[in-house]
Structure 1
Amino acid sequence: MEDALPKEIELSITRDYYDVAQQYLSSKKAQTVGFETTVSFELYNQLLQLFGKQLKPEKMVVEKLRHNRDDGEIHRLRQSTELASQAFPELLKHVEPGMTELQVANWLNNWMLQHGAQKPSFDTIVASGYRSALPHGFATDKEINRNEMITVDFGFYVNDYTSDMTRTFSIGDPGEELRHVYNVVHEAQDRMFRAIKPGANGKAVDAAGRDYIAAQGYGDFYNHGSGHGIGLDIHETPNFGPRYESNVLQARNVMTVEPGVYLPNKGGVRIEDDLLVTPDGNERLTTATRELQILS
């Protein structure tokens, strides 16, 4: 075969990977050798000694190839997001005042693992009361009380592909202001859904939600990006945010959509769903209810 390795290195057994790469590329008279800009300084120096001026920096080469999911990947992402969607109503049956955030997180983790998940994608977030105003908090030994918001953000791998879903709910009435904030976030997410389609860019999709939240008077309390790709990793590209105009959506991208509002010392709301970009719009993969659940 024309592209087979040169015979002198074809059967090499070595850990000198880059030396072998240099031999092979030299045999092919390669003029340019790309390297990911995220390599360590030590590895860059090694590559520089081997390839010299042939080196060309590249960004996100493999990650960009992963943007458009094939049928098998979409099937696995459906499995993962479906399991996450099933978990939320089960959690609502078991959470009660007096449980700690850690106990809630551990219950959810155990349920997911018992029902087919391989492992969590990140430490499950449970943030209640004043702590729900932390955009990306973590579960603590704080007890859950009545009449406060509870945000649960979780993702789990199923057949090597992840989900990422957030729901905010309460036990008892969280009060008029936080109920209003919930409605604002819900509408902001709806507006983002309507903006997501092939050709839309990450800045425009973000603005569909962020501008609405600002118009409702909460612009200063939305302080994180509004979505990202998921797949083999929990955070992949493309992204939604004010600086992601160059991130243009294509059919078969799978994205999170996660606007939020966080009022210091009062509480916060985030709603996060996973969407598949389709040729004419999008399909929501996480199907758990998005309406505010107020438990008695």
Structure 2
Amino acid sequence: MTDRVEKLRLEMARASVDCFLVTEPANIFYFSGFTGDDGLLLITEQNKYVITDARFELQLKKQAETWQHVITRNYLQAACELVAKEKLVALGFEAQLPYWQYDYLDENLTSDLVALPNLLEKIRSVKDGDEIAKIKAACKLAGQGYDYLLTKFQQSTQWTERQLATELDYFMKSNGASDKSFETIVASGLRTAWPHGTASDKLVKKGDLITLDYGYYLNGYTSDVTRTFAYGSQPAEVRTIYQVVDEARALTIQAVKAGISGKELDRIGRDFISQAGYGEFFNHGMGHGIGLSIHELPNVGARYDDVLQAGQVITIEPGIYLPNIGGVRIEDDILVTEAGYEILTNFGRNYKEL
């Protein structure tokens, strides 16, 4: 993790700040390895401090042994005192800093305050080998979870959406996942036309489409997968939109490589769906980065100029949502490479009528 701090110091120098305050939990873990749920980091040109309270003193010795530990009940005061002691002149901070903390720092710091939104997230977006291995493991577990759920689904005709989500949760956590990274989406029937239709008590009925969108943390890193399948035979238009979505997904993924923009990827898939006559029914972005958080940089959407870099992991998730028929979304996790891409979620995309 020393390399990560050095990358930040290079960015600090470019931004003309000589210290940086880290308050967002995922960023605290990324740079220090500290998993405590309270505290902050102060990184200067020469030193690096973890500031937290006595509850985490032993934990710090195990997780952040190369850092200087400041044990206190007033984190911001301690940070201000360190800035004054080292005669620092410009403190960088994250976009997520709460206003009350900003207000305190503004009143008590001897240095200038410099907002540097997304600076840490840009560093985090390019994964190292260990991070990529962990994301691959999370994606592998996601595939095992999908296979398990389809098998369980066929053993009963009395499933509610919530029961399916609970069954998946049981499997994932029984096999090493620490928690889900967002509320699992299980939508059936006409509810599949809701892009974010989280699981309800609706009974899944013969003839329903079912969309499953889920992500789980394994060793700190998450997957994010969507699959759509059918319970019984479907109208011809459902099979049509499934094919359109799957072809848009494949076409977009084939364009993934270092140097392409998120905007261009979105255009490729969106144009294909529009040419098929369903453009108005694709009402969200094409994807986003994943890693320690479920939504990270880079953004993959029509409004974003983010340029992909090798080592980033993104989702590609086109969908079509027809109000009176239902919706289809298929989402894969993709590793960006210099030459192109690697699909990390190679399972369960073939159209199924169970």
Q: CA deviation at 1:289?
A: 2.6
| Closer, same or farther: CA 271–4 of 1 in aligned 2, 3 Å | closer
Q: Alignment partner for residue 85 of structure 1, among 139, 143, 150?
A: 143
| Closer, same or farther: CA 292–30 of 1 in aligned 2, 3 Å | same
Is residue 2:257 matched to residue 1:197? yes
Equivalences, count: 289
Q: Which moved more, 1:134-143 or 1:51-60?
A: 51-60
Q: How does 1:215-230 map to 2 (within 5 A)?
A: 215-230=275-290
Partner of 1:152: 212
Q: Which moved more, 1:175-184 or 1:226-235?
A: 226-235
Q: Alignment partner for residue 263 of structure 1, among 311, 314, 322?
A: 322
| Alpha-carbon distance between aligned partners in 2 of 1:100 and 1:273, rounded to the nearest angstrom | 25
Q: Alignment partner for residue 298 of structure 2, among 238, 242, 255?
A: 238
Which stretches in structure 2 are left out of the alignment for 5+ residues?
A: 1-44, 49-67
| Alpha-carbon distance between aligned partners in 1 of 2:47 and 2:252, rounded to the nearest angstrom | 49
| Closer, same or farther: CA 26–179 of 1 in aligned 2, 3 Å | same
| Alpha-carbon distance between aligned partners in 2 of 1:11 and 1:274, rounded to the nearest angstrom | 37
Partner of 1:250: 309
| Alpha-carbon distance between aligned partners in 2 of 1:45 and 1:83, rounded to the nearest angstrom | 44
| Alpha-carbon distance between aligned partners in 1 of 2:184 and 2:46, rounded to the nearest angstrom | 47
Q: What TM-score, normalized by structure 2, do the two folds share?
A: 0.78
| Alpha-carbon distance between aligned partners in 1 of 2:132 and 2:223, rounded to the nearest angstrom | 12
TM-superposition CA deviations, 1:209-253 (whole Å, max 9, x none): 1111111111111111111111111111111111111x1110010
Is residue 2:133 matched to residue 1:75? yes
Q: How does 1:68-217 map to 2 (within 5 A)?
A: 68-96=126-154, 97-217=157-277
Q: CA deviation at 1:148?
A: 2.2
Q: Is the 8 A contact 1:131 1:265 kept in 2?
A: no
Q: What SS class does the counterpart of residue 294 from structure 1 fall into?
A: coil
| Alpha-carbon distance between aligned partners in 1 of 2:90 and 2:325, rounded to the nearest angstrom | 56
Q: Is the 8 A contact 1:147 1:175 kept in 2?
A: no
| Closer, same or farther: CA 150–12 of 1 in aligned 2, 3 Å | closer
| Alpha-carbon distance between aligned partners in 2 of 1:239 and 1:291, rounded to the nearest angstrom | 27
Q: Is the 8 A contact 1:227 1:239 kept in 2?
A: yes
TM-superposition CA deviations, 1:50-94 (whole Å, max 9, x none): 237711111022211111111111111111000101221222122
Higher relative CO (CA 8 A, sep ≥ 6), structure 1 or 2? 1
| Alpha-carbon distance between aligned partners in 2 of 1:134 and 1:115, rounded to the nearest angstrom | 30
TM-superposition CA deviations, 1:7-41 (whole Å, max 9, x none): xxx88642333333233333443332212232222
Q: What SS class does the counterpart of residue 96 from structure 2 fall into?
A: coil
| Alpha-carbon distance between aligned partners in 2 of 1:30 and 1:197, rounded to the nearest angstrom | 41
| Alpha-carbon distance between aligned partners in 2 of 1:48 and 1:116, rounded to the nearest angstrom | 44
Q: Root-mean-square deviation (CA), in Å?
A: 1.8
| Closer, same or farther: CA 116–23 of 1 in aligned 2, 3 Å | closer
Which stretches in structure 1 are left out of the alignment for 5+ residues?
A: none
Q: Is the 8 A contact 1:101 1:144 kept in 2?
A: yes
Q: What SS class does the counterpart of residue 166 from structure 2 fall into?
A: helix
Letter of the 1:88 counterpart = Y
| Alpha-carbon distance between aligned partners in 2 of 1:4 and 1:250, rounded to the nearest angstrom | 30
Partner of 2:90: 32
Q: Alignment partner for residue 19 of structure 1, among 55, 77, 86?
A: 77
Letter of the 1:235 counterpart = H
Q: What SS class does the counterpart of residue 226 from structure 2 fall into?
A: strand
Q: Is the 8 A contact 2:227 2:330 kept in 1?
A: yes
Q: How does 1:275-290 map to 2 (within 5 A)?
A: 275-290=334-349
Partner of 2:101: 43
| Closer, same or farther: CA 251–11 of 1 in aligned 2, 3 Å | closer
Q: Runs ≥4 in structure 1, deviation > 6 angstroms?
A: none
Letter of the 2:77 counterpart = D
Q: CA deviation at 1:111?
A: 1.4
Q: What SS class does the counterpart of residue 109 from structure 2 fall into?
A: helix
| Alpha-carbon distance between aligned partners in 1 of 2:140 and 2:324, rounded to the nearest angstrom | 34
Letter of the 1:269 counterpart = V
Partner of 2:46: 3
| Alpha-carbon distance between aligned partners in 1 of 2:160 and 2:87, rounded to the nearest angstrom | 63
Letter of the 1:121 counterpart = S
| Alpha-carbon distance between aligned partners in 1 of 2:143 and 2:78, rounded to the nearest angstrom | 47
